[in-house]
Chains A and B, each alone.
Chain A
């Protein structure tokens, strides 16, 4: 890549350099050949050194005057001619150099070289994100908060500039490049061992598939996370062997199904995103008849989940593009639309879902529905993160923001693999089971527990790992203790554990024996989380929890020991 920069400069500077050499040599030669007169009136010839000296300051317009002696008229005529050709040559060369610095290709190559160097020096785990849009921006925000390193490629320079203005910490490396090129993917470090995932969340399914395929071919081991919005595409991707496929409509449908038929499982799922352990009044989905407006990909997915939940529903087939073309406005709510709502049975429906591709139409559908039936529960699909505030202001009961759902899902896959697995497991359980877990969580932790992952290795649990490596055995109940009083249990609950052999134990009890390199998914109150992280790392705190005594060390150890024995 450095080579390219060199060749661009060389190619551009060839003619200017030739011009300079030719003009300088002509003027120098002329000065040497033309006879002059020295201070004593004797004829003399300028030496080459004098000539080079004179021409150098003449061409660069510095102009020290006539040296070494005053010129004769013959010399002055020649200098007059020289000034014009050499100054023009000199300015031409400088002009060429200045244009070269501003040259787009050169700047691009320089950026590539810089980017390449940064990637080479990147030692931590990182994620490659292709395309910078609302979803990936949210994702990058969340990942950088976790301290994860991110590399972004986008084909538009504007997007890259936008990203750089965000000033993410740690720095996000970004490059304007064609994301569908294998060379660029390699440049972004896809083959590096510390590259953990490639994320492609474009709206265009074909683009996503192409990137997934390329990434898979270049690096078979890498974790590919790709968005797909149709079932055919999902199937196609599955056939390629891609495990992490994000289908936003499917995700929403699943959540919707959970919210209606298994509210406790829904709470558990929401808890992972920081939701409280109880359902707020306005979150309770009513039971009864639903109306779905818009029968596209989302409408179909929702119908499936409503049917699965044995809920009655009716449709208004509404295509945003067609609606806009026919009515010449992006507003829903004329007499015909009223009629459509009435026919769909809005008067005795309990909830209405606006699921078209157009945010404004969705909003006006719900506002119109509310006019007819003020008590109706309103659910909106919001397509972009642009106008969150409008939906908030309209007091829509529940808003599904596609881009946010996608970014949260991908963030979980990358940053909290345990939580991701936990979710997949709980989906196989019944709501009664979910209720028990929620109740237990409420009892043992608090109403808004924090969810975190801990791995029993030296870097994450120093004291505990050392203790286990010394051959000691420990049960989970022993470390779930309050730091101020070890008789009391800490407000902590273990959701899942995965051992070295990837075997998963759901909700391990207090008798579970802790082993080195176990991974725990833990729910705890914020204080309990802080305490727990301290106790598994700090030798003194750990000693107290295990033995009930403070650890003594240093020269005072013996003195205090005696005291205790007395």
Chain B
């Protein structure tokens, strides 16, 4: 058993599942989407990104790229949410759609990341 694989696998898959957990629900209702879940999704995604840093291989680079995309989308979602509440105070419905769809994009990136991670693991003979 490779401890490093367990840890990085844990974070990569947790990043995806948290992301999905946040994404799941009615797209224009904020109450269906927990801010705590978004917070954890961001934190776990960031950790996953850093764990992927430093792998010079081709697969490692693509994994890093997917993570960066997910980070970007989730952070954008959080910022839009914050701005909608504190700066614009209204029209919550439109912003809810934007926040959730941004996290949906991040989810796609996370899924790709998990697929590549699994493929790489299956290919490995150790």
Contacts and interface: CB of A to CB of B under 8 A. Distances in A.
A17 B86 contact: no
B35 interface: yes
B47 A14 contact: no
B39 A49 contact: no
B47 A28 contact: no
A7 B51 CA distance: 14
B56 A7 contact: yes
B43 interface: yes
A506 interface: no
A32 B82 CA distance: 14
B54 A11 contact: yes
Task: Identify whether the interface residues of A are mostly helix, strand, loop, or mixed.
Answer: helix
A48 B78 contact: yes
Interface string B79-115: 0001001100000000000000000000000000000
A551 interface: no
Nearest to B53: A10
Contact of B53 (A14, A29, A49): A14
Contacts of A18: 47, 50-51
B43 A21 contact: yes
B63 interface: no
A47 interface: yes
B70 interface: no
A191 to B, nearest CB: 26
A69 to B, nearest CB: 16
Interface string B18-56: 000000000000000001100100010011001101101
A17 B50 CA distance: 7
A96 B37 CA distance: 31
Contact of B50 (A14, A25, A48): A14
A49 B86 contact: yes
A14 B50 CA distance: 6
Contacts of A17: 50, 53
A48 B78 CA distance: 9
B54 A48 contact: no
Contact of B47 (A22, A29, A47, A48): A22
Nearest to B81: A48
B84 to A, nearest CB: 11
Interface in A22-52: 22, 25, 28-29, 32, 47-49
Nearest to A21: B46
A10 B54 contact: yes
A21 B82 contact: no
Contacts of B47: 18, 21-22
Contacts of A11: 53-54
Nearest to A26: B43
Contact of A49 (B36, B46, B50, B82): B82
A86 to B, nearest CB: 14
Nearest to A7: B56
Interface of B: 35-36, 39, 43, 46-47, 50-51, 53-54, 56, 78, 82, 85-86
Top-6 shortest CB links A-B: A25-B43, A49-B82, A21-B46, A10-B53, A17-B50, A11-B54
Given A21-B43, A25-B39, 15 more contacts: A7-B56, A10-B53, A10-B54, A11-B53, A11-B54, A14-B54, A18-B47, A18-B51, A21-B46, A32-B36, A32-B39, A48-B35, A48-B39, A49-B82, A49-B85
24 contacts: A7-B54, A7-B56, A10-B53, A11-B53, A13-B53, A14-B50, A14-B54, A17-B53, A18-B47, A18-B50, A18-B51, A21-B47, A21-B50, A25-B43, A28-B39, A29-B36, A29-B39, A47-B82, A47-B85, A47-B86, A48-B35, A48-B78, A49-B82, A49-B86
